[in-house]
Structure formats: structure tokens, C-alpha cells
Amino acid sequence: MKNLAEQRKTKDKPVDLKEIVVSIKGLKKSFGAKEVLKNINLELKRGENVVVLGRSGMGKSVTIQCIVGLLKQDEGSLKVFGEEVADMDDKELKELRKKIGFLFQSAALYDSMTVRENLEFPLTRVLKIKDQQEIDKRVEEVLVGVGLSEAIDKLPSDLSGGMRKRAGLARTLIVQPEIMLYDEPTTGLDPITSREISDLILEMQKKYKTSSIIITHDMECARIAADRVVVMNDGEYIAEGSFEELHQSKDKIVASFFKDIL
């Protein structure tokens, strides 16, 4: 039995690193009178990790919720794999979601299920895999990957914050998504666990060749995981570049994020 990374290599066409998997142009979204997204433009290339930095309540999470179709934009274009998300019907959206992994801030583990059942859920319900041996193999492999083998039969309530994030990450990776969306993956964790999760994000990206958008306030996470950093302020992206480039930025808002970085 090949591991997940090997399966992906043989299953997929040669990886075109210039291929744009997510393309956002002029995205606008309001809630009542509050305009949260004013003009968002972003391109995510295959195999790339983009970190979005921004203050709380600036609409960072709203952007990735639009990508996965949980929210619908008011204006603008949002294409994933070249298809406009807003124009998709339920069936197309379901198919798209099979290719996207979403790690929620709280990890969102199903709390009535053990870690094993949480991981089996997308395999049996989404990928419709019936072969129990294959299911067991996949669960075991992905749990080894995130370093959580010992917690396989534990309930989410018995896990620490870091373990929950790992389990949540394992649940999204088990379906081998092509795009990963991380909503504040290190929030609420101690610095050591945060670093472990950031390292894990990078490791998983290399192993599974995923393209990722990482929403975070954690500069250490951004430094470790980002190929490109985008800074968001007041519903717009105001700066874009590598971590080092933005670190040198003279812009007042951008500099405020990097002021504690040596």
C-alpha cells in the first residue's frame, strides 16, 4: 500500500507550480451596513503557502469562508480551479469541497466521536470508501504524520489544545485536499505548541503538495510557513511580499505587525 504522498504523486498530473488554484478579484462582502471586505485581490499558486496577516475583525476569515462557499460574496470574482464559486450549484460545491481542507480555529472536532471516528467520517461519508482495511490504513498513516497515534481512541474532550489542532489537521488531510485553508491555526496555543503546529503545516505542505492560505496573527507561524505574506487592513490587502520584504517595510501598518520581530 502506497502512502498518501505517493498516491498523490501517481494520481496527479505533473505539478505545475505556476498554475493559479485560487483567484480573487475585487471581492466585496458586507454584513448589514458593515462592509467587511472592500476590495480583495489575491492569487494562490499551486504548492504555495500564503499567509494573511491582519487585525481581528478585518475580514480575514470571511475571505476563506467565501472560498469554500460557506459565505457568498456581494461583488467581485472568486475562482477556484478556474471555476466561479458563486455560480456553483450544491453538487458542484460538494465536489469542490472534496478538494479543499479547512482547519477551523477551534479545530471543530465532532465531540461525540473519538479521534478515529472523526477521521473516518470524511472517508466514509465524502469519499464513500467502504473497505475497512483501507480506512484503517489511512487513519493510521495520517495520525502518525501529525504525531497523534496514541490518541486514536480518545474523545476530543480528552485532548489538549495542541492535540485537537493536530487531530483537526489530520481530519482535513486524510481526504488529500489540494488546497488547505487554515483559520488561525496557532491561536490559543503556547509558543512551543504553536511552533510545532507551524512546523507541521510546512511539513504537511511539502509532503502532500498542497496550496495553503493561512490566516494568522502569529508572526512566528508566518515566518515558518509563508512563501508569501499578505497584510490586510480595513477590508483590503495593503501589502504583499515575502516575510523578509515586509519585515523591511516602512509602511506604518505593515511595520506594526513586524515591530517585535528581530
User: In this structure, what C-alpha cell is assigned to residue 18?
Assistant: 505556476
Q: Is 126 in the site for another protein (CB under 8 A)?
A: yes
Instruction: Between 23 and 106, name the residue whose CB sits nearer to another protein.
Output: 106
Q: Which residues, other chains included, contact 184 with Cβ-Cβ below 8 Å and sequence gap of 6+?
A: 61, 105, 215, 216, 217, 218
Question: Residue 101: what are its φ and ψ, rounded to 5°?
Answer: -105, 140
Nearest to 64 by CA among 39, 17, 10, 100: 100
Q: For the CA atoms of the chain, what is the radius of gyration? A: 18
Question: Minimal distance in Å, beta carbon 102 to another protein?
Answer: 4
Question: How would DSSP label each residue in 26-71?
Answer: EEEEEETTEEEEEEEEEEEETT-EEEEEE-TTSSHHHHHHHHTTSS
Specify the DSSP element, H or E, that contains 90.
helix 90-97
Question: Minimal distance in Å, beta carbon 69 to another protein?
Answer: 8
Binding pattern to another protein, positions 147-176, x when CB under 8 A? ------------------------xx--x-
Question: Minimal distance in Å, beta carbon 166 to another protein?
Answer: 15
Question: Minimal distance in Å, beta carbon 49 to another protein?
Answer: 19
Question: CA 248, CA 52: separation in Å to the nearest integer?
Answer: 17
Residue 87 has what DSSP assignment?
A: G
Question: Minimal distance in Å, beta carbon 184 to another protein?
Answer: 12
Residues 73-112 interacting with another protein (rule: CB under 8 A): 94-95, 97-98, 100, 102, 104-106, 108-112
Instruction: Between 33 and 262, name the residue whose CB sits nearer to another protein.
Output: 33
Specify the DSSP element, H or E, that contains 4.
helix 4-11
Binding pattern to another protein, positions 28-67, x when CB under 8 A? ----xxxx--------------------------------
Is-contact 40 24, C-beta < 8 A? yes
Question: Minimal distance in Å, beta carbon 79 to another protein?
Answer: 18
C-alpha torsion angle, residues 104, 106, 108, 114 (rounded to 10): 130
Instruction: Between 113 and 255, name the residue whose CB sits nearer to another protein.
Output: 113
Q: Is 130 in the site for another protein (CB under 8 A)?
A: no
Binder of another protein out of 20, 68, 238, 255 (CB under 8 A): 68
Binder of another protein out of 11, 125, 130, 259 (CB under 8 A): 125
- Positions touching another protein (CB under 8 A) are 32-35, 68-70, 94-95, 97-98, 100, 102, 104-106, 108-112, 121-122, 125-126, 171-172, 175
